[in-house]
Structures are given as structure tokens and as C-alpha cells.
Amino acid sequence: MDIKKITNPVLYSTMTELAFNVNSQFYGGRHYLWCTPYFGSNYQSPHFTVPPSSSPLEIYTTLKNEIVGSDRHANKIPLNRVGIRKGAEAMRARGLITEEDLQDIIQISDLAQPQQFRPLLCVIPRENAIASYKKVEVKDKANPLSYECIVSDLPQSAFDIIRLD
Amino acid sequence: MNIIEKNLLGLSPTKARSVCYYVFRKLKQAKIFNDYSKDPFIEADSSAPDEEVMAKTKELIFSIEAAENTTADRFDDATYSMWVNSIFEFEKSLSANLAPTARVQKFLNRDL
């Protein structure tokens, strides 16, 4: 949804440490984040209007479980590997990284150990997110109250990162 | 040649990787995309797929669902895992299997 319709003062997002490091080294510290104003501790509440899989807490917990190997149907880490490569392709297409960068990111995403996908909780002041916000394209026809938005090219200085260990 | 290879034959590695990403997303969140009417292609402007990628993604999802004789939101865990693993392995095979560069090694040894 349009971030300007979100009135909550803080947005949350969960990313992996590997994605954070790739963004820091190759993309000038600019981050691409799926955000929601709900941390997710109450994601089973009827008032929580994003899918459970979009809950930052749920994502955080899932990643942690995959790293320790306790999730039999683990797929978050493989999806993150693919997502990092897809993101690098997009950055290459925009001319923001070189072909050498792209190939290195692909190698990094292939070779990274599960522990390098440790989750990080990103806490983003709404006003900071708006400053970097381009256009939200998430359509939720069946659930117009679903509060999810994408913020791209967000500088590292615009948000805090927390580990819930 | 399996269903994935057959559907993605002739695509550039970049486009094939994009298709894998969107199919992966679609399978993973099939039920959610239905319940919330989310569009698996919708992301930021910069990563919006081109027509060929969208068409191939839909074709591959259709082929997978046809092979299983049901829609993705009804896949059981074993079926879901089998397809996700197949897509992941195919996507991984798109990368050249080269020795890591010094920069890659250094990156992988760093801490946050």
C-alpha cells in the first residue's frame, strides 16, 4: 500500500546479514526492504493485516530455525540466495554495478554458509522511509488494509538494526 | 530434460534466473497470493520483470501445476519441497562454477 497512508511512526523489516553485507559493499549502503508497521508479535490477531509470512518476527524466527537446522521444510535461505542474485541482476541492469560485481555477488550467494544468513531486524522511522520511498506497487485487492510496502535505496543511516538473540 | 529445463530452454541466464525467482516466490506463497490477491510480480519499479519473463513464469507454473494435477496452493509439503529444490538446483546451475575470487573470499570471511 502507499506508505503515505501508513500512520504508524515506525516500520519493521527483517533482512539477512548476507543481504545487508552485499548492500553495504556493492550498493553503496543502500537497502531494499519489504516493510510493515507491525513487528508481528500479534500476527494471529484479526487486527494484524499482513500475511504471517510477511511478519518481521515470523521471518526472523524462520531464518533462525533454518540456521540451526530445526526446520525440516527450510526454504527461506535458498530463497534468499536466489533473491540476492535476482537483486544483483536488477542492479546490473540499472548500471549500478559492474559485470565483475555481479559475478562476485553470484559467487557469494552460492558459497555463503547458513550462518551468514542470520536475521537482522530493521527498525525504520516512517519519516526516513518516506524520504527514500519511490512508489509502492503492492496491491491487495482482497485485503485493502494489508499494510506492506517496499522501500528501495534506503541509506543505512536511515534505520537501526537489531539482533534478537 | 525435465519440465523446468524444457520451459526455460533458450532463455538468457539473466531471464531464466528471474523466472526461477518468481516461480519460487509463487510456490512459496501460493496460498497467500490467493488469499491476499497479491501479485507475485509486483515489487519495486527497478526489478519489474519484462514480458518474456512474466510469460515464461506463468508457463512454468502452469506446467508444474499440470504435472501435479492441482494448483500450487494445494501442494502438500513433499510436493512443494520437491519443486522448490528442483528450481533451486536449476537456478544454481545457471552460474559458472568458477573458483571464488579473492574479493569473494574476503567478503565471506568478514563479520557484520
pLDDT in tens, B46-82: 456 788 988 999 999 999 999 999 999 899 888 988 9
d(CA A51, CA A81): 22
Q: Do B32 and A137 touch (CB under 8 A)?
A: no
pLDDT for res A24 = 95
Q: At what angle are helices B51-68 and B13-28 packed, to 10 degrees? A: 50
Q: For residues A140 and B38, is the Cβ–Cβ distance under 8 A?
A: yes
Helix intervals (H) in A46-125: 56-67, 76-93, 99-111
B40-46: average pLDDT: 53
- Whether residue A101 is predicted with pLDDT greater than 60 in this model: the reply is yes
d(CA A55, CA A39): 6
d(CA A110, CA B98): 11
**SS3 breakdown of chain A: % helix, strand, coil, rounded to 5?**
45, 20, 35
- A45-56 confidence digits (pLDDT tens): 655 556 666 788
d(CA A93, CA A154): 19
Question: Cell digits for B64?
Answer: 508444474
Q: For residues B43 and B26, is the Cβ–Cβ distance under 8 A?
A: no
pTM of the model: 0.82
Q: For residues A88 and A99, is the Cβ–Cβ distance under 8 A?
A: no
Nearest Cα residue in chain A from B45: A135
Strand A119-125 and strand A149-155: the pairing is unpaired
Determine which of A7-11, A37-41, A114-118, B105-109 has the lowest per-residue pLDDT on average. Answer: A37-41
Confidence bin at B16 (pLDDT 50/70/90): very high
The phi and psi torsions of A4 (rounded to 5 degrees) equal -70, -15
Neighbours of B70 (CB within 10 A): 12
Of B36, B77, B108, the CB nearest to A108: B108
Q: Does B109 touch chain A (CB under 8 A)?
A: no
Beta strands in chain A (DSSP E): 10-16, 30-35, 119-125, 149-155, 160-162
pLDDT for res A50 = 61
The radius of gyration of chain A from alpha carbons, rounded to an integer in Å, stands at 16
pLDDT for res B67 = 94
Percent of chain B predicted with pLDDT > 70: 80
Strand pairing partners for A162? A121
Question: Cell digits for A100?
Answer: 565483475
Residues of A in Cβ contact (< 8 Å) with B42:
137-139
Q: For residues A115 and A16, is the Cβ–Cβ distance under 8 A?
A: no
Greatest Cα pair distance, chain A, in angstroms, is 48
Of A106, A112, A150, the CB nearest to B108: A112
